[in-house]
Chain A
């Protein structure tokens, strides 16, 4: 008996597996791309935030795409890269975790979940070589060790645990620079959420593929939190409040808040 949903699918309906459809020739232009995902830990959990823009070459494909998902009750996954495949991979990953939990009567460990995701990405290597790479960021609350943890991946399925914070996607260079200056390990949820919004703002400021808060349409980044009580998404009011405060600060100081010199 086997508890893996992917292996079951492989056996009974392999055509439903995303990785089975390997095109010939470059395929980058076939799908829109998700861009910046930011994640950071704080003493009682871990937050993950994503901007809402999906691009197709130089066009904006969608303004309110969702890039951060709850993969189960205690973990989050954010997606950068080929959106079509990434969304399907998230769907498969969620069923994978749930299937295991139902059959075994107990959830996977956080490391177990991170490894399953690595295997799914490795399965997509053929597509990645055609230009359809999926680069997720995985974060969750580790119930055994009582702390929030973050994992990043490369296109070959390499899995790397990150300390404190991390960002993936085209705007991640700018987001990470921002996080380096603003992040402190003793932040509370509110502070941690503000830090990731600041980082996304900086990414949107310099990366054309990352969308900033869309005030006209009322589209704000999505922030999700995983902690000892499970996963939840910050409400629209909370997001509006945090974002409005960040924007207010930027009005006075467009490059963002200052960090101490030493």
Chain B
């Protein structure tokens, strides 16, 4: 009968962190930032069908990097929880904070339980506030949760990307400026093989738009619309 080796908890956590981080760093990055009329989500993503950005509820959206099957599972769990709560109580009782907490619980307990492998994902839950008090929660693989001020970046070379956004961020900027800043930041990703130009075909963009008259504020931008936005930028 073999004796299990003793592994110090610190070592175990470190191993699990390294494992999760490695998985996440392989993924292409996502930038979430505030602009004049709401919150804008920009992801590097060549697929039209497999989304990294998604609507969760009226004023709440979700963005993720890492393993697709894992964040897809989390996305669906979030939609289910939000819809159940909104139906059982009222639509106004569904909040970003509640969703972010639920995700933090799930990620954290999976990370520290010895049985399952940790999630190789990083998430953003963003909520459009009613009086301009928008919330951007950033959640990491171990269940840590941070309430970001004006923007969040994750995946790829996060630090490089975040630095570019930090220098240029302006919550009063219009959508075109915000998208341009996010695209610049994403192309600064040094983990990519060579400097790249990101066109509409390699981007996924969506917004939570305060000016939208319907209760559901999430709007996915078509590639044609995005091309228009980036094209005019070139002629400037």
Contacts and interface: CB of A to CB of B under 8 A. Distances in A.
Contacts of A99: 79-80, 83
Contacts of A73: 214
Nearest to B88: A16
Contacts of A5: 83, 87
A219 to B, nearest CB: 24
Interface string B77-101: 0011001101110000000000000
Interface in A1-50: 1, 5, 8-9, 12-13, 16
A102 interface: yes
B51 A105 contact: yes
A16 B87 contact: yes
Interface residues of B, number: 15
A246 to B, nearest CB: 29
B87 A102 contact: no
A8 B87 CA distance: 12
A12 B84 contact: yes
A interface bracket (residues with beta carbon within 8 Å of B): 10 to 19
Interface in A82-113: 91-92, 95, 98-99, 102-103, 105
A98 B215 CA distance: 12
Contact of B79 (A12, A91, A92, A103): A103
Interface in B27-61: 49, 51, 54-56
Interface of B: 49, 51, 54-56, 76, 79-80, 83-84, 86-88, 214, 216
Interface of A: 1, 5, 8-9, 12-13, 16, 73, 91-92, 95, 98-99, 102-103, 105
The 4 closest A-B pairs by CB, nearest first: A99-B83, A102-B79, A95-B87, A102-B55
Given A5-B83, A8-B80, A98-B83, 12 more contacts: A8-B84, A9-B87, A16-B87, A16-B88, A95-B87, A99-B79, A99-B80, A99-B83, A102-B56, A103-B76, A103-B79, A105-B54
